């Protein structure tokens, strides 16, 4: 009976399973479909969240980073001496030159300067005419800040041991960042050899242009980096870090590790560009191209066999127009004044003497010859001379203050 009962129960269970199989199968299928739909939903939701973050990062750009140095706690304040700079510039324009010949004046060019033979050339000629020892630093302008810092350190030591004179540094754009990095990283080796540093339109705190181009987590960030790597690494044979080092993220990291020595004489100079319509037609003389030698016969008694390679074709570019458009973009997007590439808020070294001229000048004005130069105004060479004269005054003031502190300390110890 027991065996028969078990058999009946098994048959009943099988019969019930057969009857309810469609319901069970439908339930399992529906549950499977629901789980699949749920997984797709969470996947799509995750993708949408990532897309939203990318859009948000792209739209915000550098709004939280522009001017961060001025908001950072614990940094020494700057001191404005624009009026004194104007006075010194007036003296220089009237032929009164105060720069002594007991220093070496080293000019450090910025990004892409290797591809413009006229970068700082007029300034070097001006200093040479004054009988001053002046050099343009031989660096790879598209190298990283770390690389150029070491190159400059070795170059400064070479100049110092070669002539026994201290070196005054004048850096433009990334050149100012490179020079500051050399001083901060190798201060133990350079403190007796460098008398001061003046930076012209340098993105010491970072550049919104570089940051907006290379920021990770924004739309098309991978594609944009590939394009910049193609341009800098393949075409101009440089290092992508030369641009990456100017982003806010990299500058914050570097300055946290390598701040400038306390009390080191520094002058920060920055400008803003005019965005007036007439600026869009302004051209800048950035290089020259030598005409090839052409073996031509003489015509009408004119000997054309002479090489004509001495003739140089002026290479001009609408740099002012490009800078004005960039400055207009930065003002609309972030509400900041700039020279076209560097925001004025990011160009001031904490604790430095700051020069903020009212004259409208774009990022390239201080190193290139303008095709429409106003002879009534001071040129870039004279401005560089005035800046270094101001730097020497600052250096002498700090030296005198240091001497007074030592004397006071000696007096206290003697008492």
Alpha carbons within 13 angstroms on the beta-carbon side of residue 362 total: 25
Identify the residue whose tokens are 């001071």.
378
Collapsing DSSP states into helix, strand and coil, what is residue 364?
coil
Whether the Cβ atoms of residue 137 and residue 152 lie closer than 8 Å to each other = yes
| Residue 359 backbone dihedrals phi, psi, to 5 degrees | -65, 135
Interval 47-71: pLDDT, tens: 677 777 778 778 788 889 999 999 9
Query: Is the residue at 321 inside a domain?
Result: no
Q: Give percent above pLDDT 70 in the chain.
A: 75
- As a whole number of angstroms, the distance between CA 415 and CA 413 comes to 5
* Domain of residue 187, residue span: 61-272+339-408
Query: Is the residue at 47 inside a domain?
Result: no
C-alpha dihedral (336, 339, 342, 347), degrees to nearest 10: -90
Q: 228: closest CA among 244, 208, 216, 206?
A: 244
Q: 142: closest CA among 64, 244, 216?
A: 244
Query: Is the residue at 187 inside a domain?
Result: yes
Ranking 10-24, 84-98, 293-307, 361-375 by mean pLDDT, the lowest is 293-307
Q: How confident is the model at residue 401 (pLDDT cuts 50, 70, 90)?
A: confident
pLDDT over 90 (residue 84) = yes
Identify the residue whose tokens are 């598209």.
142
Interval 225-284: pLDDT, tens: 888 888 888 877 888 899 999 999 999 999 999 999 998 999 999 999 887 665 555 555
Query: Is the residue at 381 inside a domain?
Result: yes
Give the pLDDT confidence score for residue 12 in this predicted structure. Answer: 63
Interval 158-198: pLDDT, tens: 999 998 999 999 999 999 999 999 999 999 999 999 999 99
- Mean pLDDT over 363-386 rounds to 77
How many domains, the chain?
1
Query: Is the residue at 330 inside a domain?
Result: no
Whether the Cβ atoms of residue 250 and residue 181 lie closer than 8 Å to each other = no
Give the pLDDT confidence score for residue 171 in this predicted structure. Answer: 96
Distances (CA, A) of 332 to 246, 270, 277, 278, 279: 22, 20, 16, 19, 18
Query: Is the residue at 318 inside a domain?
Result: no
* Biggest alpha carbon–alpha carbon distance for the chain: 138
Identify the residue whose tokens are 């946290």.
256
Q: CATH code at 204?
A: 3.40.50.1820
Query: Is the residue at 113 inside a domain?
Result: yes
Query: Is the residue at 132 inside a domain?
Result: yes
What residues pair up with 268 in beta bridges, in sequence order? 199, 354
- As a whole number of angstroms, the distance between CA 323 and CA 345 comes to 17
* pTM, rounded to two decimals: 0.79
Give the pLDDT confidence score for residue 285 in this predicted structure. Answer: 53
Whether the Cβ atoms of residue 99 and residue 389 lie closer than 8 Å to each other = yes
Inter-helix orientation angle 121-129/380-414, to 10°: 70
Collapsing DSSP states into helix, strand and coil, what is residue 80?
strand
- Mean pLDDT over 83-89 rounds to 96
């Amino acid at each position: 009976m027991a065996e028969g009962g078990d058999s009946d129960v098994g048959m009943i269970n099988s019969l019930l399973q057969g009857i309810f199989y469609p319901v069970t199968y439908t339930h399992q299928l529906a549950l499977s479909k629901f789980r699949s739909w749920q997984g797709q939903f969470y996947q799509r939701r995750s993708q949408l969240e990532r897309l939203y973050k990318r859009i948000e990062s792209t739209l915000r750009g550098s709004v939280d980073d522009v001017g961060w140095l001025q908001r950072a706690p614990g940094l020494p304040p700057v001191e404005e001496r624009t009026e004194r700079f104007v006075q010194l510039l007036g003296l220089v324009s009237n032929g009164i030159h105060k720069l002594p010949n007991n220093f070496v004046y080293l000019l450090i060019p910025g990004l892409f300067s290797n591809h413009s033979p006229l970068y700082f050339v007029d300034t070097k000629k001006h200093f040479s005419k004054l009988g001053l020892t002046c050099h343009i630093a031989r660096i790879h302008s598209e190298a990283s800040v770390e690389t150029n810092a070491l190159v400059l350190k070795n170059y400064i030591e070479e100049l110092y041991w070669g002539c026994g004179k201290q070196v005054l540094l004048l850096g433009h754009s990334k050149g100012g960042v490179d020079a500051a990095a050399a001083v901060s990283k190798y201060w133990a080796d350079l403190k007796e050899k460098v008398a001061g540093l003046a930076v012209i339109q340098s993105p010491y705190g970072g550049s919104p242009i570089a940051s907006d181009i290379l920021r990770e987590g924004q739309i098309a960030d991978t594609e944009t980096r590939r394009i910049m790597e193609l341009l800098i690494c393949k075409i101009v044979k440089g290092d992508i870090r030369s641009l990456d080092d100017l982003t806010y993220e990299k500058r914050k990291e570097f300055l946290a590790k390598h701040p400038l020595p306390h009390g080191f004489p520094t002058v920060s100079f920055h400008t803003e560009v005019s965005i007036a319509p007439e600026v869009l037609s302004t051209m800048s003389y950035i290089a020259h191209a030598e005409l090839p030698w052409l073996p031509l016969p003489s015509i009408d008694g004119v000997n054309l066999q002479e090489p004509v390679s001495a003739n140089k074709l002026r290479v001009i570019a609408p740099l002012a127009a490009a800078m004005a458009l960039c400055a207009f973009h930065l003002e609309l997007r972030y509400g900041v004044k700039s020279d076209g590439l560097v925001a004025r808020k990011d160009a001031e070294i904490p604790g430095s003497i700051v020069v903020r001229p009212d004259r409208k000048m774009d990022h390239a004005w201080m190193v290139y010859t303008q095709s429409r130069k106003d002879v009534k105004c001071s040129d870039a060479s004279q401005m560089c001379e005035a800046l270094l004269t101001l730097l020497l005054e600052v250096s002498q003031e700090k030296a005198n203050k240091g001497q007074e502190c030592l004397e006071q300390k000696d007096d206290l110890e003697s008492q």
